[in-house]
Structure 1
Amino acid sequence: MIKGTIRREEDGRIVSFEMRGHANAGPYGSDIVCAGVSALTFSTVNGIEALAGIIPIVEIDVADEGYLYFETEEDITQEQSNIAQILLENLVLGLQGIQEEHSDYLNLETVTKK
């Protein structure tokens, strides 16, 4: 199962996300849940870099446990933050859609940073 954690500030802004594990929803190379989650998360990271012009903090370990950690930088402009938030909220919507259809393979949790 893929376990995802979305971290928000008290004001609702997403500051980081973490995805861990493998869906095991099908044979290697044919796992649509893993493919969907990977496409959404990597597209979001790449979009934030390209469209917001910021280099986020990213840690990846795809070989062992299927791990991706993403965190926004704190020293960014309001415009960069707005672009990043739109892309991150879109990521959450996409992941929630996958979770609704494949809850045995994806579990999302949202936590508020205090």
Structure 2
Amino acid sequence: MIKAKFYLGKDQKITRFELTGHADYSSGPDIVCAAVSALAINTVNSLDRFTKTPHVVSNSDTGGYLVVDQLGADPQSQLLLLSLQNGLMDIAARDNNQYIEVKIFNN
């Protein structure tokens, strides 16, 4: 299962997100993992290109691991992050909740 965690600061802005695990949707092409990966990579690349460069730690060898922090509280960064959160929640809502869970934590 993919576990997506979003951490909010006191101002309710996203300060960090983590993605861990694999969906194990199928033994062939895993469309849930592919969708999550595409959203996450696009978000990180967009943050880097259009806003502030985030701090990124990843390791696909350990079962899928991505941590992104040092995120900007500016409207552009937050819009990109909310778009990622929304996309992941949409994937989970489309009968895929056994493959992905999205949680939001207040710091």
TM-score range, shorter chain: over 0.9
* Whole-angstrom distance in 1 between the partners of 2:91 and 2:12: 22
Runs of 4+ in 1 over 3 A off after TM superposition: none
Q: Which amino acid aligns with 2:57?
A: E
* Whole-angstrom distance in 2 between the partners of 1:96 and 1:59: 22
Find the counterpart in structure 2 of residue 109 from structure 1: 103
Secondary structure in 2 matching 1:63? helix
Q: Where in structure 2 are the equivalents of 1:5-16 lying within 5 Å? A: 5-16=5-16
Matched, 1:50 2:78: no
Alpha-carbon offset, residue 68 of structure 1: 0.2
* Whole-angstrom distance in 1 between the partners of 2:69 and 2:101: 20
Alpha-carbon offset, residue 59 of structure 1: 0.3
Normalising by structure 2, what TM-score?
Answer: 0.93
* Whole-angstrom distance in 1 between the partners of 2:77 and 2:26: 32
Q: Where in structure 2 are the equivalents of 1:26-105 lying within 5 Å? A: 26-28=26-28, 30-52=29-51, 54-73=52-71, 81-101=74-94, 102-105=96-99
Secondary structure in 2 matching 1:47? helix
C-alpha root-mean-square deviation of aligned residues, in Å? 1.3
Unaligned runs of 5+ in 1: none
Identity in percent: 33
Which has the larger Rg?
Answer: 1
Alpha-carbon offset, residue 83 of structure 1: 1.0
* Whole-angstrom distance in 1 between the partners of 2:58 and 2:15: 17
Give deviations 1:43-95, integer Å, cap 9, x for gaps.
0000000011x22110000122100000125xx6x7xx221100000001100
Normalising by structure 1, what TM-score?
Answer: 0.87
Q: Which amino acid aligns with 1:90?
A: S
* Whole-angstrom distance in 1 between the partners of 2:70 and 2:39: 17
